[in-house]
Amino acid sequence: MVVSERSLSEHTVVETFVGWFDQHARQDFKWRIDHAIMQGYRFVILNMVAVSFIDSAALGWLVLAQRRFQRIGGRLGIIAPIGFVRDVLELTEITEWIPIFTSEDEALKILESAREPSSES
């Protein structure tokens, strides 16, 4: 799995995945999540448009990562996966835990708007 990273704001980073998201990608995915949290990001957008395969191990990591972000007041979001990947995400109901968006702009707007009330407290 090839991954690139791009910051959208001080709170949000986009991780773009290409290829297969499977057990072989575990270390890279874990490192990316750990790094995002250490850098102070609270929202991670996973751009999975170019992911052609996802396995059950990767689904588990997504849920675990979402739980980590929820504990720190953050959240994951996924950008429009296609074909097999979208089907797997929908069949396993991951979308109830992690929202799927059609664009980075949509994800940024919705994810970051969720933090605004808590930042006023």
Residues constituting the chain: 121
Tens digits of residue pLDDT in 43-92: 999 999 999 999 999 999 999 999 999 999 999 999 977 889 989 999 99
Residue 75 belongs to what domain range? 2-119
CA distance 121 to 28: 35
CATH number at 103 reads: 3.30.750.24
Tens digits of residue pLDDT in 12-32: 999 999 999 999 998 899 999
Number of domains comprising the chain: 1
Give me 81's structure tokens: 């996966």
